[in-house]
Structure 1
């Protein structure tokens, strides 16, 4: 049942992503950031022809572009690339409360749809992770009892085993994969570890996103649909995050059982 619920959850996110594309993707949004920068440069140079030298004007404009790339300038002309993969990232960032902020709705319809998704998907994500965590906790306790018996230390061993296994599966392995397999962004080990933990804890600053890379000839940051499998990579991230949340729920479940039994004693 949990596996069916997980598949249903992923399919719901894909459906929501498709609806986001239909709502947000308009023909008038097809212009690129290169076009915007070109026009900005043209207008700036013509407007300040008498105030600054050509070298000073170009230097100042270069600083503006650098700030724009670093997301320090609020650019109302910039629109995300509304591919299905990008929309899926947005849908899941709402559902998981990660909220990367790399892809956001621009239209009133998209904003209303985002609010609707939040009310529906966030409880679903929490319930799914809690259910998966309860099942994992049950099998961990059962396995520990069969191996170590019913001694008082078995409970603590179960918590330790769950923590170590989860640490390897959901933190160490994804960090290694980001560092040595899918490192299009040329992140170092600390960056990869930072990205994994910030994502898994749903903090989601948005400065580092799995699968996110800077296009060499664009001033817009977005998830490239051709990047390491595109939408399939995003689906893998969805399953990984939900499983990671279930791991957290499992640890909390096991610790809660230990503390409740100690309180009764």
Structure 2
């Protein structure tokens, strides 16, 4: 808002739709908030019911992106190179693709529509998709700009797919690191077992057999 301006579009359908989306996605910019007891009570119920339902839908979108990432990782794993190079290729290709599709391109669009510097638009996309949502920059808030009716709805759809990508990428990264740590642990265990076997020489085996024979004779004498 600029000066003493009354914004008549604060609670139109597009703004209310965007507000409901920021609740179930747990962003919570804070630019629009409930103003009475009834709306606050409804907001609590809506959040408690809507967030779990959103998580179910969210997992479906993440599964589609996960299938694409699994195919990419299977092709990279076939390469005859070191494991850390394979991991770097997977993270670089998928990360660059996702960052370009969900951050760089939307930032260019926001820069044109909102008349923001590109760095501010890129900052907004990253803060939004990581669900931080500071609220210092929010789309559709400039009273000097005549936004199209579906603008905020399209932004909300971008947020859905962007969230799915970010969650899938984080989950894949953690799973990949977990498997790598497990493989390292298995290699250390195998190396330790091999070292124990090599340290047992034939002379040690004969001494062990002789000691067992003496113990057996002592046992017979005691009997």
TM-score (norm 1): 0.59
Q: Distance in 2 between matches of 1:114 and 1:253?
A: 30
SS in structure 2 of the partner of residue 97 of structure 1: coil
| 2:164 is the alignment partner of 1:246 | yes
Which deviations, in whole Å up to 9, do the C-alpha atoms of 1:40-65 show, x marking residues without a partner? xxxxxxxxxxxxxxxxxxxxxxxxx9
Residue pairs, 1:145-164, within 5 angstroms = 145-146=74-75, 149=78, 152=83, 153-164=85-96
Give the match's secondary structure for 2:178: helix
Query: Are residues 1:261 and 2:179 paired?
Result: yes
1:86 aligns with 2:15: yes
Q: In the alignment, is the contact (CA less than 8 A) between 1:141 and 1:155 conserved in 2?
A: no
Query: Which of 170, 175, 178 is equivalent to 2:102?
Result: 170
**Change beyond 3 A, Cα 1:129–1:159:** farther
Pick one of 184, 187, 195 that aligns with 2:124.
195
Would the aligned equivalents of 2:107 and 2:122 in 1 still touch at CA under 8 Å?
yes
Q: Find 1:237's aligned residue among 155, 160, 182.
A: 155
Alpha carbons of structure 1 residues 169 and 147: separation in structure 2 relative to 1, 3 Å: same
133, 157, 175: which one pairs with 1:204?
Answer: 133
Q: Structure 2: any 5+ residue segments left out of the alignment?
A: 184-223
In the alignment, the residues of structure 1 paired with residue 122 and residue 90 of structure 2 have an alpha-carbon distance, to the nearest angstrom, of 25
Deviation at 1:155, TM superposition (A): 4.4
Q: How far did residue 88 of structure 1 move?
A: 0.8
Q: Secondary structure at the match of 1:210?
A: coil
Length-normalised TM-score, structure 2:
0.69
Query: In structure 1, how many angstroms separate the alpha carbons of the residues matched to 2:134 and 2:170?
Result: 24
Residue number in structure 2 paired with 1:59 = none
Q: Which structure has the greater CA radius of gyration?
A: 2
Mapped contact 1:170–1:240 kept (Cα < 8 A): yes
Counterpart Cα distance in 2 of 1:115 and 1:79 = 25
Q: Distance in 2 between matches of 1:241 and 1:92?
A: 9
Residues 125 and 242, structure 1, Cα contact 8 Å, conserved in 2: no
Contact 2:73 2:90 in 1 (8 A): yes
Equivalenced residue count is 180
Whole-Å separation in 2 of the counterparts to 1:178 and 1:249: 23
For residues 242 and 255 of structure 1, do their structure 2 counterparts lie closer, same or farther at Cα, with a shift above 3 Å needed? same
**Structure 2 match to 1:40:** none
Query: What RMSD, in angstroms, separates the aligned Cα atoms of the two structures?
Result: 2.8
Please state whether the residue corresponding to 2:28 is helix, strand or coil: coil
| Unaligned stretches of 5+ residues in structure 1 | 1-32, 34-64, 70-76, 216-223
Instruction: Assess, with a 3 A threshold, how the Cα gap between structure 1 residues 179 and 79 changes in structure 2: closer, same or farther.
Output: closer
